[in-house]
Structure 1
Amino acid sequence: MYDPSMRVLTVLELLQAREEVSGAELARRLEVSPRTVQRYVARLQDLGIPVEGRRGVGGAYRLRPGFQLPPLMFTGEEALALALGLRALTHLGLHALAPAAQGAGAKLARTLPHALRADVQALELSVQLDASPWVVGTDAALLADLLRAVRGACAVEFTYTARSERATTRRADIYRVVHVDGRWYAVGWCHLRAALRSFRLDRMQDVAVLDETFTPPPDFDAVAYLREAMPEPAAHEVSVWLEAPPEALRGAVSGWHTDLTPEAGGTRLRTRRDNLRSFAAFLLGLECSVRVDGPPALLQEFADLQNRCVAIQSGQAAESYSWSL
């Protein structure tokens, strides 16, 4: 539910977006009476915004032709959302945009009224965002090219290096670009494979947007496709209890095919893993107590790690330990 000041700003937003808006539509959109809409319009006029009204049946409001509002007018929540969004860019792997984010943040601060500017400055001094170890760096220029291709429904050509494969030249119709579990993916129709495919942006190079266009499928859900196309590993079903709340583990534990639920003052972690040795080493790196409830093979991996640590401490050679991380 809007408060009165938000409703006044909403009237202004609607008038900026449309050449003319009827009083009846404003009343319906804001869930108020036509008389209340008149009061909101009067409030805008008191603020020096030239709102013109046409009386009678089908009466409507519009901004005076040629009138331009200041470039930025934000509520406190909008300013906070923008500032947080700019701070979070590097957490999406877009490190190249950090200077641009700093510049945009400076412009935002200069444009805001004093009270809002103070709130944003407090955010800069008080809020820390810890980067997730799972985030993979992404070329911002490459992402921009793909977004341009999606917007124009243009095919793209690029060099792609899949896991354990040589680089190949691909042509694809990209339907969506999505960020999932620390990585960016482009999802669309691959001309080489003649099938729907996903491409990791960190494995793409030399992207060229082509003049060739296509018709994308309506309401395509790229996240649903990725979850179906990238099934969870099936080798070992893991269940461990961690002496830390779920919120303390988010960002440290990959969320892909991993379930974190509160349990007994800590967190129950359920997942499936192919490589239990690397997962055991990962669990050792968490700064909390761990109890393994399954599988038994994971306990054996911890025993092997213990033996290796003892060997290292005693100065023995480590050649006898085989690692396949």
Structure 2
Amino acid sequence: MYDPSMRVLTVLELLQARESVTGAELARALEVSPRTVQRYIARLQDLGIPVEGRRGVGGAYTLKPGFRLPPLMFTGEEALSLALGLRALHLLGLDALAPAAHAASAKLARTLPHALRQTVQALESAVQLDASPWVVSTDAALLSALLGAVNAAQTVEFLYTSPKSPAQTRRVDVYRALHLDGRWYAVGRCHLRDALRSFRLDRMTGLQVLDEIFTAPPDFNALAYLRSILPAPAPALQNSGPQISVWLAAPPEELRGRVSVWFTQISAEAGGTRLRGRRENLAHFAPFLLGLDCDFRVDSPPELLAAFARLGVRCAAVGVPGGGGPKNGGTAREKTGG
């Protein structure tokens, strides 16, 4: 039926699956004699597995309470998926889990046979994972507590801060948590508004899981809801408007959450950020650039420079010092918010 090593592993699997197993039951399952079963039990004990029980013909065997041996055998695809998944945690903004991910990766490597370990390491070294600069870091402990509340259908309470309103205490029946466009969201019924709302986890503090229980709507699609309420430009505008090219004197990570990535190409360049895309309304885009509060250079189009010139004339008309707007190849800085 099996080779001896597989039979020993089968004994371990049966012991983990059942509270107790008699010697006769193991003998029938393995198609061996009761005396051979005793040898397999002794082999497990020699390996440090805490098997307890009598070794006689009619003895019953059990694992020490609380002992569980995780599965240690993976196929090549399973091992690679685990290794890449651990490396990709930072793509979800869960940088706080990096130490745990490194420890788990080391444990995984120790469990793999030498040949498979070398294969997985070679495949890992051939892959580069680049996190978007717009991924927002999220408190892993907060996410864990929130997911526990979702699973138990328990109401949560937290302090929520947003640019549009001061900090408020919110009590919410969270139906789902999800990651979309670099941010984690919680979606559910807000008690304050008595309506469906979404909340960014990076704006939550002081999360508490309450004893209140709720019933979530069946088959609730949080992703569809979130996509329906998040602002997005009309598809028709994707290729409309003049092509812009602006260099910003700030690295991409400093602009995170301040520059829209919709139909916009963002890349690091010369210690700063190159922004490319199309904008239909340059009169609105010019003050937006000023509101970023960093030096920048407009390389194209000329129409954007003209928009800055008009803005400078307006500033001079109301007595703002330094009006006149930037010139091509120059820089601009403004202290007001965008």
Q: TM-score range by the shorter chain?
A: 0.5 to 0.7
The answer to whether residue 193 in structure 2 is matched with residue 193 in structure 1 is yes
The answer to whether residue 147 in structure 2 is matched with residue 147 in structure 1 is yes
- d(CA) in 2 for partners of 1:94, 1:278: 34
- d(CA) in 2 for partners of 1:208, 1:101: 26
Amino acid at match of 1:208: Q
Number of the residue aligned with 2:127: 127
The answer to whether residue 307 in structure 2 is matched with residue 307 in structure 1 is no
Number of the residue aligned with 1:113: 113
CA contact (8 A) 2:159 2:205 kept: yes
Distance 1:167 1:280, change over 3 A: closer
Per-residue deviation at 1:122?
Answer: 2.5
Q: Normalising by structure 2, what TM-score?
A: 0.59
Q: Normalising by structure 1, what TM-score?
A: 0.61
CA contact (8 A) 2:232 2:262 kept: no
Q: Which SS does the other structure have where 1:167 is aligned?
A: strand
- d(CA) in 2 for partners of 1:239, 1:275: 13
**What is the RMSD computed on CA atoms of the aligned residues?**
4.3
Number of the residue aligned with 1:276: 285
CA contact (8 A) 2:184 2:201 kept: yes
Distance 1:187 1:67, change over 3 A: closer
Number of the residue aligned with 1:315: none
CA contact (8 A) 2:305 2:327 kept: no
- d(CA) in 2 for partners of 1:47, 1:183: 51
Number of the residue aligned with 1:87: 87
**Aligned positions of 1:262-301 closer than 5 A:** 276-277=285-286, 300=307
Amino acid at match of 1:276: F
- d(CA) in 2 for partners of 1:95, 1:70: 26
The answer to whether residue 267 in structure 2 is matched with residue 258 in structure 1 is no
**Aligned positions of 1:151-170 closer than 5 A:** 151-170=151-170
Amino acid at match of 1:184: W
Distance 1:77 1:291, change over 3 A: farther
- d(CA) in 2 for partners of 1:297, 1:241: 10
Per-residue deviation at 1:223?
Answer: 1.2
Q: Which SS does the other structure have where 2:98 is aligned?
A: helix
Per-residue deviation at 1:214?
Answer: 0.8
Per-residue deviation at 1:50?
Answer: 5.0
Q: Which SS does the other structure have where 2:186 is aligned?
A: strand
Q: Percent identity?
A: 53
For these two proteins, the number of residue pairs brought into alignment is 245
CA contact (8 A) 2:92 2:179 kept: yes
Where structure 1 has 5 or more consecutive residues not aligned to the other structure, the ranges are 1-41, 52-61, 244-250, 262-267, 313-317
Distance 1:114 1:166, change over 3 A: same
Distance 1:100 1:136, change over 3 A: same
Amino acid at match of 1:163: P
Amino acid at match of 2:262: T
Q: Which has the larger radius of gyration?
A: 2
- d(CA) in 1 for partners of 2:242, 2:288: 11
Number of the residue aligned with 1:12: none
Distance 1:240 1:219, change over 3 A: farther
The answer to whether residue 37 in structure 2 is matched with residue 65 in structure 1 is no
After superposition, the C-alpha distances for 1:256-309 in whole angstroms (9 at most, x for unaligned) are 883589xxxxxx967888952377799xx9xxxx9869xx66974699885174
Per-residue deviation at 1:71?
Answer: 2.4
**Aligned positions of 1:22-33 closer than 5 A:** none
CA contact (8 A) 1:185 1:201 kept: yes
- d(CA) in 1 for partners of 2:101, 2:164: 36
Amino acid at match of 2:140: A
Q: Which SS does the other structure have where 1:223 is aligned?
A: helix
Q: Which SS does the other structure have where 1:166 is aligned?
A: strand
- d(CA) in 2 for partners of 1:47, 1:75: 21
Number of the residue aligned with 2:250: none
Per-residue deviation at 1:119?
Answer: 2.4
Amino acid at match of 2:327: N
Where structure 2 has 5 or more consecutive residues not aligned to the other structure, the ranges are 18-68, 246-252, 266-275, 313-324
Number of the residue aligned with 1:184: 184
